[in-house]
A and B are shown apart, each in its own frame.
Chain A
Amino acid sequence: MTISPQESGRAVEARSVSKSYGPVRALHDVSIIVRPGAVHALVGENGAGKSTLAKVLAGIEPPTSGMMTLGGAPYAPRDRAEAKRRGINMVPQQLSLVGELSLVENYLVVGSRPFVNRRSARSLLAATLDRARVEVDLDAPTSSLTHSHRQLGEIVVALAEGAHTLILDEPTASLGPLEVGGLFEHLRSLCELGTAIVLITHRLDEVRQVADDLTVLSHGLEVHHGSATGLQPAEIARLMVGELPELAPRAARARGGATLRAEAVVARSTRDAGLDRVDLAVHAGEVVGLAGVAGSGQNLLLDVLAGFVPPSSGTVTLDGSRTVTITGSRASTAAAERGGATASTLRAAGLAWIPEDRRDAVVPTMSLRENLAVYSSARGGRADARPPVQGSDDASAPAARLAAFDVRPARPELLAAGLSGGNQQKLLAARELGGAQTPSAVLAYGPTQGLDLRAAQAIRERLVDLAADGAAVLVASHDLEEVRAVADRIVVMFGGRIVADLPIAEATTERLGRAMAGLPADDTPLPTLPEEPAP
């Protein structure tokens, strides 16, 4: 990495930085140089220290030892505000925009300047948008923007605050392939303006797509730094984990009857594309992947299948330990309440549920043991509350289950809030997929999100095992690879409709990509194209 004189004026450099939390070393002697005008990818498994390094750079955490410089001058920010003043800003994974406020208002809220009026703030943001060649609605409440636009909005607010070095913590985690492409284009044009970007990511192909420089962390150690060009994802993966785990060979599975069926389901939601007569059947013994760009209706479909949202017409049937049928009706509020009742009925019939946002399903104020056993507190659940006694003693069972899913630390008495995000995800999987009884059906949205490769592989294998035991498994994800790794066939949604249903052998990236973008499967145009979703 060579640095030209004018660039070195703003380069952020960390030398031999270490960070310990009590006895635990999250970072050990890590060095990094962030060049202006370049995208610096920071990759590593869960717990490798990526976020810790980012927080040290952004002034959120002070390093335990080591030193940092900014353009050659010592840089030791006391807090995030000071780092911001010096031009280094971090966009967190969970965006910090206030949903009720527009981007302009958000900027006014966070702005460090004491007197900024709305008009000048707006023109400043507009100028920043223009410079970065981004088009985002400045005046709409940010909750009405798409996820990628909120992401861009957050970046624009940071730029307007004078950031010359942006740290993006997994910005692509909840974006579809097209949106990722769009975001990367914008990042490139920011680089042309001299902005330095640190991109934290799990997805190795993104490194090849956008990064100039690369730092790989593993277990708090820096194992590689240098140019990102010419490196293949497989090489990076080898650096991170030593070796990319192979998918277990798939045993042939008998496909049974249709356990989980949606027939002509129509449903509305304010947050997702409405479902437009969706038909879907997931058979016992098969894993169906549900792909689509974010906001294509996958969230709503899973909510309908899980019984949270009542369909306005059509039926949902679960042929589990008993048969549950939900029929659409018009009465909205009353039906919504009845819809709530159906969620527990579906659960009792053996429906396992891993939501997109694990915070919907893990209770942080409860211990791991209580989280695992939460369904024993279900209404009228006395009968199935106690797991079938198999000579196992109750005290060790939760610990064994936690260990089986590699939840660290596997201490049942610990509060769930004390777990890292990835371990909360494993805890959720342990509860939903690790029960003594095989669920009749599994709904999983991004079941391996936030997990490192090994842990993700373990969850995938568990899903496949459940299918082999006769469960009907539906896996949705923004991450095409996650879906492809487990699915026997892939269903693609676009604009609230199912636009493709491909056996895994035919589900090439090209075909899936076209379907996800709402394009016809081949060059012959379809007579009726679904409407483009609002940007």
Chain B
Amino acid sequence: MRLVRALDRQRWVLTAAVVVSIILIAGALIVFAGADPLLGLQGLVEGVSSSPYRIGEVLVGAVPIGIVALTLIPALRAGVFSVGAEGQIVVGAIFATAAVFAVNRMLDGAAPAPLLWVAGLVAGAVGGGLMALLPAFLAVRWRVNEILSTLLLNYLAAGFLGWTLRTWLATDAETATPQSDELPDAASLPSLIPGTRAHWGILLVVVLAVVFLIWQRSAASTRLSVFASRPKLALRLGATRSRTVYSTMLVSGLGAGVVGWIQVAGVNDRLLSSVSGSVGFSGIAVALLGALAPIGIVAAALFFSALTAGAVGMQSATGTVPSSIAEVIKGVLLMGVACIAAYQRRPAAVVAPAEPVVADVAAEPVAAAEAEEARA
């Protein structure tokens, strides 16, 4: 199919342009900070790969982003743009922490580890799910824009977390920042690679990626794509608005809630006010960067995490380049992705009505579309 190949070719050119501009901007930032770009690059690579611990850090960072991004696939595919993962992580973490403490207290501190894991996992998922169903209900019942409601609910969740850490889950110990007691040792996720913080949550990402790879070929996935572009046809397929909004937002909420539990039980061992750490927003970015494809999302999540870890290495290697350079690069990358996505939607078709463009060339519309493409 020539049309597809032409599209692919131009997509590669665009992608290459984005990569080149990122390298140029990053290099310029390093030079401007008064450091040698090559030294900076070396620091970046070392920050990611110089020890098993650092590799583990990359994996640990990629897990929450990956889970959030993977579970956002259905919602984004259906055009339900939920940006509430941040708040859902927070509520999931609160629920999970409370559940772990409650179960542990009920069994007088002798709860077996698997029970605590299950309690944390289920409670986290329930918390995240409930937090997602609220905006879904608002969207279905009163047509409240889900972008707005999920975004604002993030602040509500953050406030609730602050209140929680000062009141019913606050630790008795004197601490500088509000936090909960440390979880019982049995509740922590065991590490997957000895000597690192890489925990069993990594396997969950792999499982989710496989699940979504299979799901992509399912009828449900097709229904969501149809829902996004052809609502009436979707109704004939049984994909009503309420069903679609509830189910897709619930999936993303469950995923984010589980992430909340993983961050508490696998990384911090206690509930901190920084539990979500903007992972929810990174998840959306990674889902888009990975083009809603599971493999692409896993790769993008690793890349995002490596960038953060590597920037720390760069900071210590050069001494002058701040690690926040990673955020700048992520921002530029997102702009690039947005450009590529916008290009793929073919803005030319918006200016000139899409249908008449090929309407009078019955014999070989592909060629016409290609010609259109070449001029665009």
Contacts and interface: CB of A to CB of B under 8 A. Distances in A.
B115 interface: no
Given A93-B356, A340-B241, A421-B359, A24 B368 contact: yes
21 contacts: A23-B367, A46-B360, A47-B361, A52-B361, A60-B352, A92-B356, A93-B353, A93-B355, A340-B235, A355-B232, A359-B230, A370-B222, A374-B222, A377-B223, A378-B237, A408-B363, A414-B366, A419-B358, A420-B358, A421-B358, A450-B359
A129 B237 CA distance: 46
Contact of A94 (B226, B355, B370): B355
Nearest to B358: A420
A418 B360 contact: no
Nearest to B140: A337
A308 B367 contact: no
B236 A343 contact: yes
A504 to B, nearest CB: 30
B235 A420 contact: no
B235 A421 contact: no
Interface string A301-342: 000001110000000000000000000000001000100110
B34 interface: no
B360 A52 contact: yes
B141 interface: yes
A170 B371 CA distance: 24
A419 B365 contact: yes
B238 A48 contact: no
Chain B interface helix/strand/loop/mixed: helix
B362 A418 contact: no
B242 interface: yes
Given A21-B361, A94-B356, A420-B362, A380 B232 contact: no
B232 A360 contact: yes
A362 B355 CA distance: 12
Nearest to A303: B232
Contact of B369 (A359, A418, A423): A418
A183 interface: no
- Which 9 pairs across A and B sit closest by C-beta, in order of nearness? A379-B238, A47-B362, A22-B367, A340-B240, A344-B238, A377-B219, A377-B222, A21-B368, A343-B235
A201 interface: no
A339 to B, nearest CB: 8
A125 B30 CA distance: 57
A1 to B, nearest CB: 25
Contacts of B355: 93-94, 420-421, 424
A51 to B, nearest CB: 4
A22 B236 contact: no
Interface residues of B, number: 42
Contacts of B361: 21, 24, 26, 47, 52, 420
A169 interface: yes
Interface in A374-415: 374-382, 385, 408-409, 413-415
A366 B239 CA distance: 17
B174 interface: no
B366 A47 contact: no
A360 B368 contact: no
Interface string A2-22: 000000000000000000011
Contacts of B230: 359-363
- From B226, B237, B355, B370, residue with most partner A Cβ within 10 Å: B355
A450 B356 CA distance: 11
Interface string A58-93: 001000000000000000000000000000000011
B3 interface: yes
A420 B367 CA distance: 12
A47 B219 contact: no
Nearest to A413: B1
A51 B359 contact: yes
B238 A363 contact: no
A347 B239 CA distance: 13
Nearest to B360: A51
B360 A415 contact: no
Chain A interface residue number, banded: 35 or more
Contacts of B360: 26, 46-52, 420
A375 B364 contact: no
Nearest to A378: B237
Contact of B141 (A47, A333, A370, A423): A333
Given A51-B359, A355-B232, A422-B362, A21 B238 contact: no
A418 B356 contact: no
A96 interface: yes
A107 interface: no
B57 to A, nearest CB: 39
B240 A418 contact: no
A103 to B, nearest CB: 19
Contacts of B371: 21-22
B366 A374 contact: no
A494 interface: no
B140 A344 contact: no
Contacts of B354: 417
Contacts of B356: 51, 55, 92-94, 169, 421
Interface string B209-252: 00000000001101101100110110111111110000000000
Contacts of B241: 337, 340
A376 B219 contact: yes
A361 B234 CA distance: 9
Given A96-B353, A374-B233, A376-B219, 4 more contacts: A21-B367, A52-B360, A370-B222, A379-B238
Contacts of B359: 46, 51, 420-422, 450
A232 interface: no
- From A340, A375, A422, residue with most partner B Cβ within 10 Å: A340
B296 to A, nearest CB: 18
Nearest to B226: A363
A51 B235 CA distance: 34
A420 B237 contact: no
Given A52-B360, A169-B356, A337-B241, A423 B233 contact: no
A240 B239 CA distance: 44
Contacts of A509: none
Contact of A337 (B219, B240, B368): B240
A100 to B, nearest CB: 16
A414 B233 CA distance: 20
Contact of A363 (B4, B229, B367): B229
Nearest to A355: B232
A508 interface: no
A21 B364 contact: yes
Contact of B232 (A308, A377, A409): A308
B229 A365 contact: yes
Interface in B330-376: 352-356, 358-371
A408 B353 contact: no
